[in-house]
Amino acid sequence: LVAAVAFLCFAASRAPGACTALALMEAAITVLFFLLYLLRLDQKLSWLFWPLADVFNSVMAALFLLVVCLFAVIVKTNNGTLAGGV
């Protein structure tokens, strides 16, 4: 949800492409993990330890979004970019 809100703020403010693309990518990956668990595909693909993959994705998303949001807050080209960073 946070990545989706950040994407909407970055897209509305016409922020640099990297900010918008990263927020969209993280929101899409999170939705894909949600669908994976919702459709119970994790049980069919038992060769991968899905909780660990989910935790790894969450940590990487938090780090990437932290860097992008800090960059957006420091640069603060307009109010939309500042809102997306916050």
What confidence tens digit (pLDDT) does each residue in 10-43 have? Answer: 777 776 676 777 777 888 888 888 888 888 877 8
Taking each helix axis as running N to C, give the angle between helix 50-75 and helix 17-38, from 0 to 180 degrees, rounded to the nearest 10.
160
| Confidence band for 83, pLDDT divided at 50, 70 and 90 | low
Percentage of the chain beyond pLDDT 90 is 0
Q: d(Cα 77, Cα 73) in Å, to the nearest integer?
A: 9
pLDDT recorded at residue 39: 87
- DSSP three-state, residue 16: coil
Average pLDDT over residues 56-76: 78
pTM: 0.66
